[in-house]
């Protein structure tokens, strides 16, 4: 299922955010967090948003030699989308997730959250590269709560990351550059254990403290 696209230009340009003026009510039994104050409804956004099911996809986690199905994760989860050769937005997204992981470990709820960063550069982000990248980012890779997901091909990355999650990305040219880069949107999702989106943080600099607070509410549900 492809997300709605008529607002994509606005999303890519940074128009959409968490602030807005429509308060359409917080009554939704599928989520723990109240509806965010925003301009658009979930149905109008080009990505999965508050109260909607997370896309039903299964992707390899090559570092762990397993597959992960997004709707079968038994804990609340955090998802974001990156590529390991990025030196601007992606390190911030991964560092934020790592900060949440560190807080979970230090506060004894590490078994109550799963981290699912997903690459859209499967050509370079193989298992060896992802493990090295995780170590460089000081991720606790061997606890079983962190899985780097890797679509099997560039076409699969496009259909999942862009088509299902609404995270736009485009590779720089020329195509044969060894160190090609990507222009891409920034999104981090907080999904509850029942597979519903609690928050879609559409920002290049998500705040770990905000995610930790939101996660606490979701965990206590």
**CA gap 166, 149 in Å, rounded:** 17
pLDDT tens, the chain, 221 aa long: 444 332 333 333 333 333 333 333 367 999 999 999 999 999 999 999 999 999 999 999 999 999 999 999 999 999 999 999 999 999 999 999 999 999 999 999 999 999 999 999 999 999 999 999 999 999 999 999 999 999 999 999 999 999 999 999 999 876 667 789 999 999 999 999 999 999 999 999 999 999 999 999 999 98
For the chain, the three-class secondary structure string (H helix, E strand, C coil) is CCCCCCCHHHHHCCCCCCCCCECCCCCCCCCCCCCCCECCCHHHCCCCCCCCECCCCEEEECCCCEEEEHHHCCCCEEEEEECCCCCCHHHHHHHHHHHHHHHHHHCCCHHHCEEEEEECCCCCCCHHHHHHHHHHCCCCCCCCCECCECCCCHHHHHHHHHHHCCCCEEECCCCCCCCCCEEECCCEEEECCCCEEEEEECCCCCCHHHHHHHHHHHHCC
Q: What is the pLDDT of residues 89-127, one digit of tens each?
A: 999 999 999 999 999 999 999 999 999 999 999 999 999
Q: How many CB atoms lie within 10 A of CB 208?
A: 16
The predicted structure's pLDDT at residue 221: 84
Residue entry with tokens 């222009």: 183
The predicted structure's pLDDT at residue 215: 98
């Amino acid at each position: 299922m492809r997300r709605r696209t008529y607002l994509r230009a606005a999303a890519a340009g940074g128009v959409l955010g968490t602030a807005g003026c429509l308060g359409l009510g917080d009554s939704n039994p599928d989520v723990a967090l109240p509806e965010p104050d925003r301009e658009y409804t979930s149905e109008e956004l080009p990505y999965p948003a508050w109260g909607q099911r997370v896309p039903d996809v299964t992707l390899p986690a090559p570092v762990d030699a397993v597959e992960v199905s997004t709707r079968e994760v038994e804990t609340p989860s955090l998802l974001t989308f990156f590529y390991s050769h990025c030196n601007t937005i992606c390190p911030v997204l991964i560092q934020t997730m790592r900060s949440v992981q560190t807080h979970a470990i230090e506060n004894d709820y590490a078994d109550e959250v799963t981290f699912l960063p997903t690459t859209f550069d499967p050509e370079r982000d193989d298992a060896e590269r992802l493990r090295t990248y995780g170590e460089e980012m000081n991720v606790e890779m061997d606890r079983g709560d962190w899985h780097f997901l890797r679509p099997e091909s560039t076409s699969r990355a496009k259909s999942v990351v862009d088509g299902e999650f609404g995270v736009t990305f485009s590779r720089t040219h020329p195509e044969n550059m060894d160190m090609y880069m990507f222009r891409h949107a920034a999104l981090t999702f907080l999904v509850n254990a029942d597979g519903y989106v609690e928050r879609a943080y559409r920002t290049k600099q998500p705040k770990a403290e905000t995610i930790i607070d939101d996660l606490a509410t979701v965990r206590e549900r």
